[in-house]
Chains A and B, each alone.
Chain A
């Protein structure tokens, strides 16, 4: 488990991240969302023991970040994919991975096995002896992910894993991240790609140099936006809006064609009531659905509020 308590990092007068408290349970994917310069990479670097916090504390399992002896143990448990892959262009894919595996003290036989498994699962085994310089951007990203995994870390930190990749490569990487989660890895992702975060993250934290909100993407939407249902009727009488507004569990009524939009409290309980009310007035209910708010809506609202 990863926990932070009032974590702060200041560079001179600039507060990269301030009073940041989160908890990431084992086996989950946690997304850090925020605009450029919001402190996402700084947070990840602190958690990867690359930079020390100015104040506050952070723990990975029983080890505390910032204590040199604990830092060594933490680094052995994590795999990092930085924003830029930073591979050695003249060396082969195999040698790149082998180098990092050696730095993680992986024994030779295990190194060979891990590299073969990773390159095979990423469809790159046939290209193992080719220099990285000959690889496409997507292939390099795959190798960089393989590098982060070559020592079988418990925790995986991915900084913009699908940035600048084409949709096909992005999907492949996303699926691979979900596969890693299914194998029990705890994954922290920094991303600008909100649709991606919505698809793969169990929990997201919206940050802008401080923690703005943390939670499940759907829960955040529910917390931020009143739940809206849309009811498609065969027709909408003129008096309907006036008549329906007497119901105390609905608000913000509007229409669009033969669709009626309502903000409704506890829809699971009140949806049957409203449908019954409409039916009694001779209106035929054709469809009922809940309006979904995307993570992008949530994010933009939160950032707007923070500003």
Chain B
């Protein structure tokens, strides 16, 4: 029976020591910053640049350049019998407009104000309308169907909004999010290779395990303390990176598409299941490595191999062989948990006083 209070005393001591270790502190800060914040941003820059040509497809023939019409003169005569397709309206004010027999199809309308206008005998189909206002606009004999809209104040209008299709960018989002998501499995699996090696090999080199073993602390409590001291900073750091990364991605997507994509079920499952099991796997493997090596650097180098199951996952996702769905995440979590369980029993069997004192040196 593990007394967790005692295990926490051991972990707390290790955490106090980490504060004085520049490499450990540096890694805890830098790795999440690079992998959890900088890298996702770098990944989203090309997406942001790709978004223009993909969504802003102008149908040049028969085009009505609505966003350039800011004066009444633009709409002195009704624009009739026009078809607007694949047009991207952004931050456009349309006033005193008279549209007749106009068909709006596959358009994205964002941050637009349409007021004091008449849209008559027109069809609005498969359009996405975000954060726009349609006010005092008379929709006469117009059909508004299969529209995707958000936060729209529709006055005297009969539009119904249903999400019907995804843009090309929207189709890319889950793939990109998966790329980013796998980073939050890499971080908690990699950080222990630095932290745990200091926690156990450092203690072994310092010959400070013997006095601990002479206290009424059980082998299991010492092992639990050592696991906690690596798990807490690894997962804590990952969580901070996760929240920061999610917020940045939300901001980027909101600007691009007008909605916040996170958190999704995938992300919640990764941070609550996959990341902790991957972190534990790495820590437990490091405990085993630490029993055989006497040098922190050697432990760190061998530690690179212990995260192989996580690297396999990452390669699978990046190559497109594995798609992170809730099912695959749970499947990998179960797989990692089984490895964790095996490693824990193995670690427990070698983490005993006699072996530590007589075989670990």
Are the CB atoms of A104 and B16 closer together than 8 Å?
Answer: no
Q: A88 with B354: in contact, given A50-B214, A99-B9, A102-B9 (CB under 8 Å)?
A: no
Judge if A185 is at the interface, Cβ distance under 8 Å: no
Q: A103 with B20: in contact, given A51-B357, A86-B206, A88-B13 (CB under 8 Å)?
A: no
CA distance A48 to B357 in the complex (A): 12
Are the CB atoms of A45 and B357 closer together than 8 Å?
Answer: yes
Judge if B207 is at the interface, Cβ distance under 8 Å: yes
When the two chains form the complex, which single residue of A49, A82, A90, A102 contacts B211, counting CB atoms closer than 8 Å? A82
Judge if A2 is at the interface, Cβ distance under 8 Å: no
Q: Which residues of chain A from 48 to 90 have a CB within 8 Å of any chain B CB? A: 48-52, 72-73, 75-76, 78-80, 82, 84-90
Are the CB atoms of B358 and A51 closer together than 8 Å?
Answer: yes
> For A147, what are the chain B residues with a Cβ–Cβ distance below 8 Å?
211
Are the CB atoms of B354 and A51 closer together than 8 Å?
Answer: yes
Judge if A219 is at the interface, Cβ distance under 8 Å: no
B225 to chain A, nearest CB (A): 10
Are the CB atoms of A88 and B353 closer together than 8 Å?
Answer: no
Judge if A123 is at the interface, Cβ distance under 8 Å: no
B75 to chain A, nearest CB (A): 75
Chain B positions 205 through 242: 1 when the CB is less than 8 Å from some CB of chain A, otherwise 0: 01111111111111000000000000000000000000
> For A90, what are the chain B residues with a Cβ–Cβ distance below 8 Å?
17, 20-21
Are the CB atoms of B216 and A89 closer together than 8 Å?
Answer: no
When the two chains form the complex, which single residue of A75, A89, A104, A131 contacts B206, counting CB atoms closer than 8 Å? A89
Judge if A95 is at the interface, Cβ distance under 8 Å: yes
Q: Which residue among B10, B210, B214 has the maximum number of chain A CB atoms within 10 Å of its CB?
A: B214
Q: Which residue among B17, B207, B216, B357 has the maximum number of chain A CB atoms within 10 Å of its CB?
A: B216
> For B218, what are the chain A residues with a Cβ–Cβ distance below 8 Å?
72
> For B79, what are the chain A residues with a Cβ–Cβ distance below 8 Å?
none
Are the CB atoms of B215 and A103 closer together than 8 Å?
Answer: yes
> For A80, what are the chain B residues with a Cβ–Cβ distance below 8 Å?
210-211, 214
Judge if A135 is at the interface, Cβ distance under 8 Å: no
Q: Which residues of chain B from 1 to 51 have a CB within 8 Å of any chain A CB? A: 6, 9-10, 13, 16-17, 20-21
Question: Chain B interface secondary structure, helix, strand, loop or mixed?
Answer: helix
Residue of B nearest to A92 (CB): B16
Residue of B nearest to A42 (CB): B358
Are the CB atoms of B210 and A82 closer together than 8 Å?
Answer: yes
Q: A103 with B357: in contact, given A86-B210, A86-B211 (CB under 8 Å)?
A: no
Residue of B nearest to A147 (CB): B211
> For B17, what are the chain A residues with a Cβ–Cβ distance below 8 Å?
88, 90-91
Are the CB atoms of A103 and B6 closer together than 8 Å?
Answer: yes
Q: A86 with B207: in contact, given A48-B214, A51-B353, A103-B212 (CB under 8 Å)?
A: yes
Q: A86 with B358: in contact, given A75-B215, A80-B214, A104-B216 (CB under 8 Å)?
A: no
Judge if A287 is at the interface, Cβ distance under 8 Å: no
Q: Which residues of chain A from 35 to 50 have a CB within 8 Å of any chain B CB? A: 45, 48-50
A134 to chain B, nearest CB (A): 13
Are the CB atoms of B211 and A75 closer together than 8 Å?
Answer: no
> For B209, what are the chain A residues with a Cβ–Cβ distance below 8 Å?
86
> For B358, what are the chain A residues with a Cβ–Cβ distance below 8 Å?
11, 51
Q: Which residues of chain B from 296 to 323 have a CB within 8 Å of any chain A CB? A: none
Judge if A290 is at the interface, Cβ distance under 8 Å: no
B88 to chain A, nearest CB (A): 59
Please give the number of chain A residues whose Cβ is less than 8 angstroms from any Cβ of chain B in the complex. Answer: 34
Judge if A297 is at the interface, Cβ distance under 8 Å: no
> For B354, what are the chain A residues with a Cβ–Cβ distance below 8 Å?
50-52
> For A89, what are the chain B residues with a Cβ–Cβ distance below 8 Å?
206
Judge if A100 is at the interface, Cβ distance under 8 Å: yes
> For A91, what are the chain B residues with a Cβ–Cβ distance below 8 Å?
13, 16-17, 20
Chain A positions 146 through 164: 1 when the CB is less than 8 Å from some CB of chain B, otherwise 0: 0110000000000000000
Residue of A nearest to B213 (CB): A50
CA distance A85 to B218 in the complex (A): 21
Residue of A nearest to B209 (CB): A86
CA distance A100 to B10 in the complex (A): 10
B319 to chain A, nearest CB (A): 43
Judge if A105 is at the interface, Cβ distance under 8 Å: yes
> For A78, what are the chain B residues with a Cβ–Cβ distance below 8 Å?
214
B235 to chain A, nearest CB (A): 23
> For B10, what are the chain A residues with a Cβ–Cβ distance below 8 Å?
103
> For A75, what are the chain B residues with a Cβ–Cβ distance below 8 Å?
214-216
Are the CB atoms of A87 and B214 closer together than 8 Å?
Answer: no
> For B20, what are the chain A residues with a Cβ–Cβ distance below 8 Å?
90-91, 131
Q: A72 with B211: in contact, given A11-B358, A102-B9 (CB under 8 Å)?
A: no
> For A84, what are the chain B residues with a Cβ–Cβ distance below 8 Å?
207, 210
> For B215, what are the chain A residues with a Cβ–Cβ distance below 8 Å?
75, 100, 103-104
> For A144, what are the chain B residues with a Cβ–Cβ distance below 8 Å?
211
Are the CB atoms of B208 and A103 closer together than 8 Å?
Answer: no
> For B6, what are the chain A residues with a Cβ–Cβ distance below 8 Å?
103
Q: Which residue among B21, B211, B354 has the maximum number of chain A CB atoms within 10 Å of its CB?
A: B211
> For B9, what are the chain A residues with a Cβ–Cβ distance below 8 Å?
99, 102-103
CA distance A73 to B218 in the complex (A): 12
> For A88, what are the chain B residues with a Cβ–Cβ distance below 8 Å?
13, 17, 206, 208
Q: Which residues of chain B from 131 to 177 have a CB within 8 Å of any chain A CB? A: none
Q: List 29 A-B contacts (CB under 8 A).
A: A11-B358, A48-B214, A49-B214, A50-B213, A50-B214, A50-B354, A51-B353, A75-B214, A75-B215, A79-B214, A80-B211, A84-B207, A86-B208, A86-B209, A87-B206, A88-B13, A88-B206, A90-B17, A90-B21, A91-B16, A91-B17, A95-B13, A100-B212, A102-B9, A103-B9, A103-B10, A103-B215, A147-B211, A148-B211
A-B contact sample (16 more), CB < 8 A, given A45-B357, A90-B17? A50-B214, A50-B353, A50-B357, A73-B216, A86-B208, A86-B211, A87-B206, A88-B17, A88-B208, A89-B206, A90-B20, A90-B21, A91-B13, A91-B20, A104-B216, A131-B20
Nearest 8 A-B pairs (CB), nearest first? A86-B208, A90-B20, A80-B214, A84-B207, A103-B215, A86-B207, A75-B216, A82-B210
